[in-house]
Structure 1
Protein backbone atom coordinates (compact mmCIF):
# COMPACT_ATOMS: atom_id res chain seq x y z
CA UNK A 1 0.00 0.00 0.00
CA UNK A 2 1.31 3.44 -0.92
CA UNK A 3 1.73 6.34 1.49
CA UNK A 4 -1.69 8.05 1.81
CA UNK A 5 0.01 11.39 1.22
CA UNK A 6 1.15 10.08 -2.18
CA UNK A 7 -2.06 8.28 -3.11
CA UNK A 8 -4.09 9.30 -6.14
CA UNK A 9 -7.14 10.21 -3.94
CA UNK A 10 -9.91 9.21 -6.34
CA UNK A 11 -13.64 9.45 -6.80
CA UNK A 12 -15.38 7.83 -9.76
CA UNK A 13 -17.91 9.15 -12.24
CA UNK A 14 -20.28 7.19 -14.43
CA UNK A 15 -18.44 5.45 -17.24
CA UNK A 16 -15.44 4.55 -15.11
CA UNK A 17 -13.92 8.03 -15.18
CA UNK A 18 -11.56 8.66 -12.25
CA UNK A 19 -11.59 12.12 -10.69
CA UNK A 20 -8.88 13.50 -8.44
CA UNK A 21 -10.41 14.69 -5.20
CA UNK A 22 -7.11 16.43 -4.43
CA UNK A 23 -7.39 18.64 -7.54
CA UNK A 24 -11.12 18.31 -8.28
CA UNK A 25 -10.38 17.38 -11.88
CA UNK A 26 -11.06 14.28 -14.02
CA UNK A 27 -8.11 12.28 -15.31
CA UNK A 28 -9.37 12.34 -18.87
CA UNK A 29 -12.03 14.03 -20.95
CA UNK A 30 -15.65 13.26 -20.14
CA UNK A 31 -16.20 13.47 -23.91
CA UNK A 32 -13.78 10.68 -24.79
CA UNK A 33 -10.41 10.23 -23.15
CA UNK A 34 -8.71 8.19 -25.87
CA UNK A 35 -9.91 10.49 -28.63
CA UNK A 36 -8.64 13.48 -26.65
CA UNK A 37 -5.23 11.85 -26.23
CA UNK A 38 -4.98 11.16 -29.94
CA UNK A 39 -5.98 14.73 -30.80
CA UNK A 40 -3.92 16.61 -28.23
CA UNK A 41 -0.82 14.60 -27.46
CA UNK A 42 -0.27 12.43 -30.51
CA UNK A 43 -1.40 14.75 -33.30
CA UNK A 44 -0.18 17.77 -31.33
CA UNK A 45 3.36 16.35 -31.49
CA UNK A 46 2.99 15.05 -35.08
CA UNK A 47 2.99 11.46 -33.87
CA UNK A 48 3.32 8.72 -34.96
CA UNK A 49 4.86 10.25 -38.12
CA UNK A 50 7.99 11.44 -36.27
CA UNK A 51 8.70 8.17 -34.48
CA UNK A 52 12.06 6.59 -35.23
CA UNK A 53 13.95 3.99 -33.16
CA UNK A 54 15.06 5.55 -29.89
CA UNK A 55 12.66 8.51 -30.07
CA UNK A 56 12.02 9.69 -26.50
CA UNK A 57 8.69 11.00 -25.22
CA UNK A 58 8.46 12.55 -21.75
CA UNK A 59 5.35 13.46 -19.82
CA UNK A 60 4.25 15.52 -16.84
CA UNK A 61 1.34 13.68 -15.21
CA UNK A 62 1.11 9.93 -15.86
CA UNK A 63 -2.36 9.50 -14.36
CA UNK A 64 -3.99 6.37 -15.73
CA UNK A 65 -1.29 5.82 -18.35
CA UNK A 66 -3.77 6.48 -21.14
CA UNK A 67 -1.31 8.58 -23.15
CA UNK A 68 1.28 5.81 -22.96
CA UNK A 69 -1.28 3.23 -24.09
CA UNK A 70 -2.38 5.37 -27.03
CA UNK A 71 1.27 5.85 -28.02
CA UNK A 72 1.98 2.13 -27.78
CA UNK A 73 -1.03 1.40 -29.98
CA UNK A 74 0.38 3.41 -32.90
CA UNK A 75 4.16 2.99 -32.45
CA UNK A 76 5.80 0.59 -34.90
CA UNK A 77 9.42 1.09 -33.82
CA UNK A 78 11.12 0.89 -30.40
CA UNK A 79 10.69 4.18 -28.53
CA UNK A 80 11.21 5.41 -24.97
CA UNK A 81 8.73 7.00 -22.60
CA UNK A 82 9.43 8.72 -19.27
CA UNK A 83 6.63 10.11 -17.12
CA UNK A 84 6.70 12.09 -13.88
CA UNK A 85 3.85 11.39 -11.45
CA UNK A 86 3.52 12.67 -7.88
CA UNK A 87 0.43 10.65 -6.92
CA UNK A 88 0.49 7.21 -8.58
CA UNK A 89 -2.60 5.05 -8.71
CA UNK A 90 -2.84 1.60 -7.14
CA UNK A 91 -3.09 -1.42 -9.44
CA UNK A 92 -6.81 -1.90 -8.81
CA UNK A 93 -7.45 1.75 -9.60
CA UNK A 94 -5.55 1.46 -12.86
CA UNK A 95 -7.53 -1.64 -13.77
CA UNK A 96 -10.82 0.12 -13.10
CA UNK A 97 -9.80 3.10 -15.24
CA UNK A 98 -8.45 0.91 -18.05
CA UNK A 99 -11.75 -0.97 -18.26
CA UNK A 100 -13.19 2.09 -20.03
CA UNK A 101 -10.91 1.38 -23.03
CA UNK A 102 -11.41 -2.26 -24.11
CA UNK A 103 -9.51 -1.76 -27.37
CA UNK A 104 -6.39 -1.10 -25.30
CA UNK A 105 -6.83 -4.13 -23.04
CA UNK A 106 -3.71 -6.14 -24.03
CA UNK A 107 -1.50 -3.05 -23.74
CA UNK A 108 -3.11 -2.08 -20.44
CA UNK A 109 -2.43 -5.57 -19.07
CA UNK A 110 1.25 -5.17 -19.96
CA UNK A 111 1.34 -1.81 -18.20
CA UNK A 112 -0.20 -3.19 -15.03
CA UNK A 113 2.06 -6.24 -15.06
CA UNK A 114 5.11 -3.98 -14.83
CA UNK A 115 3.57 -1.25 -12.70
CA UNK A 116 5.07 -2.24 -9.33
CA UNK A 117 8.58 -1.88 -10.75
CA UNK A 118 7.80 1.46 -12.46
CA UNK A 119 9.81 0.20 -15.46
CA UNK A 120 8.08 -1.91 -18.05
CA UNK A 121 7.50 -2.63 -21.71
CA UNK A 122 4.18 -1.80 -23.41
CA UNK A 123 4.28 -3.00 -26.98
CA UNK A 124 7.29 -1.29 -28.59
CA UNK A 125 7.50 1.34 -25.85
CA UNK A 126 10.03 1.10 -23.01
CA UNK A 127 8.48 3.06 -20.14
CA UNK A 128 9.80 4.46 -16.89
CA UNK A 129 7.63 6.21 -14.29
CA UNK A 130 9.46 8.60 -11.97
CA UNK A 131 7.41 9.01 -8.81
CA UNK A 132 7.65 12.35 -7.08
CA UNK A 133 7.08 16.06 -7.48
CA UNK A 134 8.29 17.00 -10.97
CA UNK A 135 9.62 20.30 -9.63
CA UNK A 136 12.21 18.31 -7.70
CA UNK A 137 12.59 15.29 -10.00
CA UNK A 138 12.89 16.90 -13.43
CA UNK A 139 15.93 19.10 -12.65
CA UNK A 140 17.94 15.99 -11.71
CA UNK A 141 16.76 13.89 -14.67
CA UNK A 142 19.56 13.01 -17.07
CA UNK A 143 17.38 12.53 -20.15
CA UNK A 144 16.20 14.75 -22.99
CA UNK A 145 12.90 14.29 -24.77
CA UNK A 146 12.05 14.63 -28.44
CA UNK A 147 8.41 15.30 -27.52
CA UNK A 148 6.58 16.26 -24.34
CA UNK A 149 3.05 15.45 -23.21
CA UNK A 150 2.19 18.22 -20.71
CA UNK A 151 -0.78 16.60 -19.00
CA UNK A 152 -0.99 17.80 -15.44
CA UNK A 153 -4.34 18.72 -13.96
CA UNK A 154 -5.89 22.04 -14.95
CA UNK A 155 -3.52 24.99 -14.42
CA UNK A 156 -6.26 26.65 -12.39
CA UNK A 157 -6.31 23.69 -9.98
CA UNK A 158 -2.72 22.41 -10.14
CA UNK A 159 -0.65 25.57 -10.80
CA UNK A 160 2.53 24.00 -9.42
CA UNK A 161 2.90 21.86 -12.55
CA UNK A 162 2.68 24.81 -14.96
CA UNK A 163 4.93 27.48 -13.46
CA UNK A 164 7.80 29.22 -15.22
CA UNK A 165 10.59 27.34 -13.39
CA UNK A 166 9.19 23.94 -14.36
CA UNK A 167 8.51 24.97 -17.97
CA UNK A 168 12.14 26.14 -18.14
CA UNK A 169 13.20 22.66 -16.99
CA UNK A 170 11.00 21.11 -19.66
CA UNK A 171 12.85 23.16 -22.28
CA UNK A 172 16.23 22.31 -20.75
CA UNK A 173 15.34 18.64 -21.07
CA UNK A 174 14.17 18.86 -24.68
CA UNK A 175 16.29 17.89 -27.66
CA UNK A 176 16.88 20.58 -30.31
CA UNK A 177 13.78 20.73 -32.48
CA UNK A 178 11.79 18.86 -29.86
CA UNK A 179 8.11 19.59 -29.32
CA UNK A 180 5.41 19.80 -26.69
CA UNK A 181 1.64 19.56 -26.78
CA UNK A 182 -0.95 20.24 -24.10
CA UNK A 183 -4.70 20.56 -23.81
CA UNK A 184 -4.49 23.97 -22.13
CA UNK A 185 -4.29 27.33 -23.86
CA UNK A 186 -3.98 29.33 -20.63
CA UNK A 187 -2.08 32.51 -21.35
CA UNK A 188 0.37 32.22 -18.45
CA UNK A 189 1.29 28.66 -19.52
CA UNK A 190 1.89 29.73 -23.09
CA UNK A 191 3.98 32.68 -21.94
CA UNK A 192 6.05 30.45 -19.64
CA UNK A 193 6.77 28.02 -22.48
CA UNK A 194 7.64 30.86 -24.84
CA UNK A 195 9.99 32.36 -22.24
CA UNK A 196 11.64 28.95 -21.94
CA UNK A 197 12.48 28.95 -25.64
CA UNK A 198 9.58 27.26 -27.40
CA UNK A 199 7.87 28.71 -30.45
CA UNK A 200 4.32 28.36 -29.14
CA UNK A 201 1.14 28.22 -31.20
CA UNK A 202 -2.51 27.55 -30.57
CA UNK A 203 -4.43 24.80 -32.34
CA UNK A 204 -8.08 23.72 -32.26
CA UNK A 205 -8.92 21.97 -29.00
CA UNK A 206 -10.78 18.73 -28.48
CA UNK A 207 -14.54 18.28 -28.30
CA UNK A 208 -15.61 21.87 -28.45
CA UNK A 209 -12.67 23.24 -26.48
CA UNK A 210 -11.63 26.28 -28.44
CA UNK A 211 -7.86 25.98 -28.25
CA UNK A 212 -4.97 23.78 -27.16
CA UNK A 213 -1.25 24.61 -27.29
CA UNK A 214 1.72 23.12 -29.07
CA UNK A 215 5.25 24.24 -29.74
CA UNK A 216 8.77 23.50 -30.94
CA UNK A 217 12.08 24.31 -29.30
Structure 2
Protein backbone atom coordinates (compact mmCIF):
# COMPACT_ATOMS: atom_id res chain seq x y z
CA UNK A 1 0.00 0.00 0.00
CA UNK A 2 1.30 3.45 -0.90
CA UNK A 3 2.46 5.58 2.01
CA UNK A 4 0.29 8.56 2.91
CA UNK A 5 1.89 11.97 3.31
CA UNK A 6 0.83 14.47 5.95
CA UNK A 7 -1.97 16.90 5.25
CA UNK A 8 -0.82 20.17 6.83
CA UNK A 9 -2.58 23.44 7.56
CA UNK A 10 -0.94 26.55 9.01
CA UNK A 11 -1.87 28.81 11.90
CA UNK A 12 -1.49 32.56 11.51
CA UNK A 13 1.64 32.39 13.72
CA UNK A 14 3.27 29.90 11.35
CA UNK A 15 2.70 26.77 13.45
CA UNK A 16 1.89 23.72 11.27
CA UNK A 17 -1.14 21.65 12.22
CA UNK A 18 -1.91 18.07 11.22
CA UNK A 19 -5.24 17.94 9.41
CA UNK A 20 -5.40 14.16 9.99
CA UNK A 21 -5.17 14.56 13.78
CA UNK A 22 -6.25 18.18 14.30
CA UNK A 23 -3.19 18.80 16.46
CA UNK A 24 -0.21 21.18 16.13
CA UNK A 25 3.20 19.71 15.41
CA UNK A 26 4.86 21.64 18.22
CA UNK A 27 4.03 24.04 21.04
CA UNK A 28 2.09 27.17 20.17
CA UNK A 29 4.22 28.96 22.78
CA UNK A 30 7.80 28.00 21.86
CA UNK A 31 8.43 24.76 19.98
CA UNK A 32 12.20 25.00 20.35
CA UNK A 33 12.13 25.45 24.13
CA UNK A 34 9.52 22.71 24.46
CA UNK A 35 11.66 20.24 22.53
CA UNK A 36 14.73 21.00 24.60
CA UNK A 37 12.89 20.64 27.90
CA UNK A 38 10.82 17.57 27.07
CA UNK A 39 13.12 15.43 24.98
CA UNK A 40 16.66 16.55 25.82
CA UNK A 41 16.32 17.27 29.53
CA UNK A 42 13.68 14.56 29.89
CA UNK A 43 16.25 11.99 28.70
CA UNK A 44 19.15 13.63 30.59
CA UNK A 45 20.83 14.79 27.41
CA UNK A 46 23.42 15.81 26.37
CA UNK A 47 25.02 14.47 29.56
CA UNK A 48 24.55 10.86 28.43
CA UNK A 49 25.83 11.31 24.88
CA UNK A 50 28.68 9.01 23.86
CA UNK A 51 30.00 7.38 20.71
CA UNK A 52 27.34 5.07 19.29
CA UNK A 53 24.43 6.70 21.15
CA UNK A 54 21.11 5.77 19.54
CA UNK A 55 17.92 7.82 19.86
CA UNK A 56 14.57 6.51 18.59
CA UNK A 57 11.38 8.46 18.16
CA UNK A 58 7.70 7.84 17.57
CA UNK A 59 6.52 10.64 15.30
CA UNK A 60 9.14 12.51 13.21
CA UNK A 61 6.81 15.39 12.30
CA UNK A 62 8.73 18.43 11.11
CA UNK A 63 12.12 17.05 12.14
CA UNK A 64 12.45 19.68 14.88
CA UNK A 65 13.43 17.14 17.55
CA UNK A 66 16.11 15.72 15.29
CA UNK A 67 17.67 19.13 14.58
CA UNK A 68 17.55 20.15 18.26
CA UNK A 69 19.31 16.88 19.10
CA UNK A 70 21.90 17.40 16.38
CA UNK A 71 22.59 20.88 17.69
CA UNK A 72 23.06 19.54 21.24
CA UNK A 73 25.33 16.75 19.95
CA UNK A 74 27.54 19.22 18.11
CA UNK A 75 27.69 21.65 21.04
CA UNK A 76 28.66 18.79 23.35
CA UNK A 77 31.68 18.08 21.15
CA UNK A 78 31.24 14.31 21.27
CA UNK A 79 33.81 12.33 19.32
CA UNK A 80 32.02 9.50 17.57
CA UNK A 81 28.72 8.70 15.89
CA UNK A 82 25.07 9.49 16.66
CA UNK A 83 22.21 7.37 15.31
CA UNK A 84 18.67 8.78 15.18
CA UNK A 85 15.73 6.58 14.12
CA UNK A 86 12.19 7.90 13.76
CA UNK A 87 8.93 6.09 12.97
CA UNK A 88 6.44 8.18 11.00
CA UNK A 89 3.12 7.11 9.48
CA UNK A 90 2.37 10.39 7.69
CA UNK A 91 5.63 12.01 6.58
CA UNK A 92 5.58 15.67 5.60
CA UNK A 93 6.40 16.76 2.10
CA UNK A 94 9.68 18.61 1.51
CA UNK A 95 8.02 22.02 1.18
CA UNK A 96 6.19 21.66 4.51
CA UNK A 97 9.32 20.49 6.36
CA UNK A 98 11.31 23.38 4.93
CA UNK A 99 8.61 25.94 5.81
CA UNK A 100 8.12 24.61 9.34
CA UNK A 101 11.82 24.63 10.19
CA UNK A 102 12.29 28.05 8.60
CA UNK A 103 10.67 29.59 11.66
CA UNK A 104 13.61 28.63 13.88
CA UNK A 105 16.49 31.02 13.29
CA UNK A 106 18.47 29.28 16.06
CA UNK A 107 18.67 26.21 13.80
CA UNK A 108 19.43 28.06 10.56
CA UNK A 109 22.93 26.61 10.25
CA UNK A 110 21.62 23.05 10.62
CA UNK A 111 18.41 23.04 8.54
CA UNK A 112 20.14 21.97 5.33
CA UNK A 113 21.43 18.86 7.08
CA UNK A 114 17.82 17.70 6.90
CA UNK A 115 16.33 19.46 3.91
CA UNK A 116 19.19 18.43 1.60
CA UNK A 117 18.39 14.77 2.30
CA UNK A 118 14.69 14.71 3.08
CA UNK A 119 12.29 12.56 1.08
CA UNK A 120 8.89 11.49 2.42
CA UNK A 121 9.36 7.85 1.45
CA UNK A 122 11.92 7.57 4.23
CA UNK A 123 15.16 5.65 4.29
CA UNK A 124 18.59 5.98 5.87
CA UNK A 125 20.47 9.23 5.40
CA UNK A 126 24.12 9.90 6.18
CA UNK A 127 23.49 13.46 7.34
CA UNK A 128 27.14 14.05 8.19
CA UNK A 129 30.12 11.81 8.95
CA UNK A 130 29.09 11.72 12.62
CA UNK A 131 25.29 11.49 12.25
CA UNK A 132 22.94 8.99 10.59
CA UNK A 133 19.18 9.57 10.33
CA UNK A 134 16.82 6.65 9.70
CA UNK A 135 13.16 7.33 8.84
CA UNK A 136 10.92 4.27 9.07
CA UNK A 137 7.69 5.11 7.23
CA UNK A 138 4.48 3.30 8.13
CA UNK A 139 2.39 2.28 11.12
CA UNK A 140 4.75 1.97 14.10
CA UNK A 141 2.57 -0.80 15.52
CA UNK A 142 3.67 -2.92 12.56
CA UNK A 143 7.15 -1.56 11.90
CA UNK A 144 8.63 -1.28 15.40
CA UNK A 145 8.22 -4.93 16.51
CA UNK A 146 10.26 -6.01 13.47
CA UNK A 147 12.90 -3.30 13.82
CA UNK A 148 16.37 -4.63 14.56
CA UNK A 149 17.57 -1.54 16.44
CA UNK A 150 17.93 -0.79 20.14
CA UNK A 151 17.73 2.76 21.50
CA UNK A 152 19.40 4.37 24.48
CA UNK A 153 16.72 7.08 24.60
CA UNK A 154 13.19 7.37 23.22
CA UNK A 155 11.28 10.47 22.21
CA UNK A 156 7.58 9.58 22.41
CA UNK A 157 6.31 12.40 20.24
CA UNK A 158 3.06 11.28 18.66
CA UNK A 159 0.06 13.54 18.54
CA UNK A 160 -2.14 13.80 21.62
CA UNK A 161 -3.25 10.41 23.00
CA UNK A 162 -6.83 11.67 22.81
CA UNK A 163 -6.48 12.31 19.06
CA UNK A 164 -3.95 9.64 18.07
CA UNK A 165 -4.51 6.76 20.54
CA UNK A 166 -2.95 4.17 18.22
CA UNK A 167 0.55 5.53 18.85
CA UNK A 168 0.16 5.10 22.63
CA UNK A 169 -1.28 1.59 22.83
CA UNK A 170 0.01 -0.82 25.45
CA UNK A 171 1.37 -3.26 22.84
CA UNK A 172 3.37 -0.49 21.20
CA UNK A 173 4.78 0.64 24.56
CA UNK A 174 5.90 -2.96 25.14
CA UNK A 175 7.64 -2.86 21.77
CA UNK A 176 9.36 0.37 22.81
CA UNK A 177 10.65 -1.32 25.98
CA UNK A 178 11.78 -4.39 24.02
CA UNK A 179 13.89 -2.13 21.81
CA UNK A 180 15.48 -0.16 24.64
CA UNK A 181 19.04 -0.73 25.85
CA UNK A 182 19.59 -1.61 29.53
CA UNK A 183 19.19 1.57 31.56
CA UNK A 184 17.64 3.33 28.57
CA UNK A 185 15.13 6.12 28.98
CA UNK A 186 12.03 7.71 27.47
CA UNK A 187 10.52 11.17 27.64
CA UNK A 188 7.19 12.48 26.43
CA UNK A 189 5.16 15.67 26.73
CA UNK A 190 2.06 13.74 27.83
CA UNK A 191 1.18 12.76 31.38
CA UNK A 192 -1.99 10.85 30.45
CA UNK A 193 -2.65 8.15 33.01
CA UNK A 194 -3.23 5.47 30.38
CA UNK A 195 0.16 6.19 28.81
CA UNK A 196 2.00 6.15 32.13
CA UNK A 197 0.35 2.87 33.12
CA UNK A 198 1.22 1.29 29.77
CA UNK A 199 4.86 2.32 30.07
CA UNK A 200 5.05 1.08 33.66
CA UNK A 201 3.57 -2.27 32.62
CA UNK A 202 6.08 -2.42 29.76
CA UNK A 203 8.99 -2.24 32.21
CA UNK A 204 9.82 1.42 32.80
CA UNK A 205 10.07 3.23 36.11
CA UNK A 206 7.79 6.14 35.22
CA UNK A 207 7.79 9.61 36.76
CA UNK A 208 5.41 12.49 36.26
CA UNK A 209 7.40 15.73 36.25
CA UNK A 210 6.81 19.39 35.49
CA UNK A 211 5.72 20.00 31.93
CA UNK A 212 6.43 22.79 29.50
CA UNK A 213 4.43 25.99 29.32
CA UNK A 214 0.73 25.44 29.74
CA UNK A 215 1.17 21.69 30.22
CA UNK A 216 1.39 21.10 33.95
CA UNK A 217 3.04 17.69 33.71
CA UNK A 218 5.01 15.42 31.37
CA UNK A 219 6.39 11.89 31.77
CA UNK A 220 9.89 10.44 31.89
CA UNK A 221 11.21 7.01 32.75
CA UNK A 222 14.08 4.54 32.88
CA UNK A 223 13.95 0.87 31.86
CA UNK A 224 14.01 -1.35 34.93
CA UNK A 225 16.87 -3.83 35.22
- The normalised TM-score by structure 1 is 0.95
Distance 1:151 1:196 in 2: 18
Residue 118 of structure 2 is matched in structure 1 by: 115
Q: Structure 1 unaligned segments of length 5 or more: list them.
A: none
Question: Does residue 105 in structure 1 map to residue 103 in structure 2?
Answer: no
Cα deviation for residue 122 of structure 1 reads 4.1
Question: Does residue 165 in structure 1 map to residue 168 in structure 2?
Answer: no
Any conservation in 2 of the 1:111–1:121 contact (CA below 8 Å)? Answer: no
Quote the RMSD (CA, aligned, Å). 1.2
Q: What do residues 122-141 of structure 1 show as CA deviations (whole Å, max 9, x unaligned)? A: 45431110001000000100
Distance 1:150 1:193 in 2: 11
Any conservation in 2 of the 1:72–1:122 contact (CA below 8 Å)? Answer: no
Q: Which residue among 24, 27, 31 is the counterpart of 1:26?
A: 24
Distance 2:131 2:48 in 1: 15
Secondary structure in structure 2 of the residue aligned to 1:47: coil
Distance 1:65 1:106 in 2: 15
Cα deviation for residue 120 of structure 1 reads 2.3
Residue 83 of structure 1 is matched in structure 2 by: 86
Alignment of 1:35-114 (within 5 A): 35-75=33-73, 76-77=77-78, 78-114=81-117
Question: Does residue 131 in structure 1 map to residue 137 in structure 2?
Answer: yes
Q: Structure 2 unaligned segments of length 5 or more: list them.
A: none
Residue 156 of structure 1 is matched in structure 2 by: 162
Q: Which runs of 4+ in 1 moved over 6 A?
A: none
Distance 2:37 2:142 in 1: 30
Cα deviation for residue 96 of structure 1 reads 0.6
Distance 1:208 1:28 in 2: 13
Distance 2:145 2:50 in 1: 26
Distance 2:33 2:48 in 1: 19
Cα deviation for residue 105 of structure 1 reads 1.8
Q: What do residues 33-82 of structure 1 show as CA deviations (whole Å, max 9, x unaligned)? A: 01000000000000000000000000000000000000000103321100
Any conservation in 2 of the 1:85–1:131 contact (CA below 8 Å)? Answer: yes
Distance 1:102 1:118 in 2: 27
